[in-house]
Amino acid sequence: MNKISPPLMLAFVALAAHHAAFANAYPVRPIRFIVPYPPGGGADTLARTVGQKIGDAWGQQVVIDNRPGGATNIAAEVAANAAPDGYTLLETVLAHAVNASLFPKLGYDLQRDFTPVIFMATIPNILVVHPSVPVKSTRELIDYARTRPGALNYASTGNGGPQHLGMELFKTLTGVQLTHVPYKGAAPAHTDLVSGQVQVMFANMLSSLPLIRAARLRALAISSAKRSSVLADLPTVSESGAAGFESGSWFGISAPAKTPHPVIDKLNAEANRILKNQELRERLGAEGADFIGGTPDAYGAFQRAEITKWAKVVKFAQVKLD
């Protein structure tokens, strides 16, 4: 068995002591939290809420840096190239796992270039239509769309995102033809959906509920496998004409690879504490968020499973970028 030389052992001890001291002092300046979507959507709301509470607890501002576009790849590339010092974080989302199979070349690798911090939450999507569309159920939408192939436009938060893949899976299961109109996030997609420029969408529950409650959008079904307690009367897509359908959005925090483990652990512990905050759970839970938490390793394992799962969906649904 090879022995570690005393000088090398001392170097390891010194490095560990340096990282521990760095983590104890961290943070000493503002933290940048990169969000891959524009302000106003569910991803932005969750990041701002958690970021503000981290900043309040540590006495340092967490600055939200919205970097929409490129199917979330722009934000990921910026974060991947940032210094691994704990002062740049990325809100990782479903699209980042999907992009591994959707794009032949990426400027980053989710597993190689990032260190998982925590799995924050999952949020189901809601199948919604503009009130001008004369349907009140998923079955009616399917029948209506089948007689008008390609006539209905559906919005998404970008190519390869949960709304895009969810609708492509829906099309595969039901045989309907809908025209894809991608946006750079939920807020601009909702703007055109509410105005009737597009007619259909799998909208994030967190950002679409106020529009549904104001009757500016009509909810048809929820994308999760089970009904939500928030909208108990709303059926699932699977029970409404697309058997086996399940989709949704998830959100976590990652840091550039080689960020010191003590810093990752400190971020994870604080984020876990925040996700148990009763006010947070009541406010965002009432909008459909299901908070997860847990260890960095658990979030990493989840990401790997998602990459595998959605690679099969992309192939099965023959999803192509517009």
3-state secondary structure of 63: strand
Q: Select the more confidently predicted residue: 289 or 14.
A: 289
pLDDT of residue 67: 97
Task: Answer whether residue 102 is part of any domain.
Answer: yes
**Cβ-count burial of 302 within 10 angstroms (0-12 exposed, 13-18 middle, 19+ buried)?**
middle
This model's pTM is above 0.75: yes
Q: Last residue of some domain: 219, 240, 261?
A: 240
pLDDT of residue 12: 47
Q: Do 58 and 45 fall into the same domain?
A: yes
Q: Do 149 and 84 fall into the same domain?
A: no
Q: Last residue of some domain: 240, 272, 294?
A: 240
Q: Do 99 and 54 fall into the same domain?
A: yes
Task: Answer whether residue 254 is part of any domain.
Answer: yes
Give yes or no for residue 139 having a pLDDT over 80.
Answer: yes
Q: Do 132 and 216 fall into the same domain?
A: yes
Query: What CATH number is attached to the domain comprising 305?
Result: 3.40.190.150
Give yes or no for residue 4 having a pLDDT over 80.
Answer: no
Stretch 302-311: mean pLDDT:
92
Q: Which domain holds residue 312?
A: 29-123+249-317
* Residues, the chain: 322
Stretch 48-57: mean pLDDT:
97
Q: Among 38, 281, 232, which residue's Cα sits nearest to residue 219?
A: 232
Q: Last residue of some domain: 212, 240, 268?
A: 240
Stretch 64-77: mean pLDDT:
95
Task: Answer whether residue 21 is part of any domain.
Answer: no
Give yes or no for residue 108 having a pLDDT over 90.
Answer: yes
Q: Do 99 and 164 fall into the same domain?
A: no
Task: Answer whether residue 11 is part of any domain.
Answer: no
Q: Do 199 and 257 fall into the same domain?
A: no
The count of structural domains within the chain is 2
Q: Do 202 and 291 fall into the same domain?
A: no
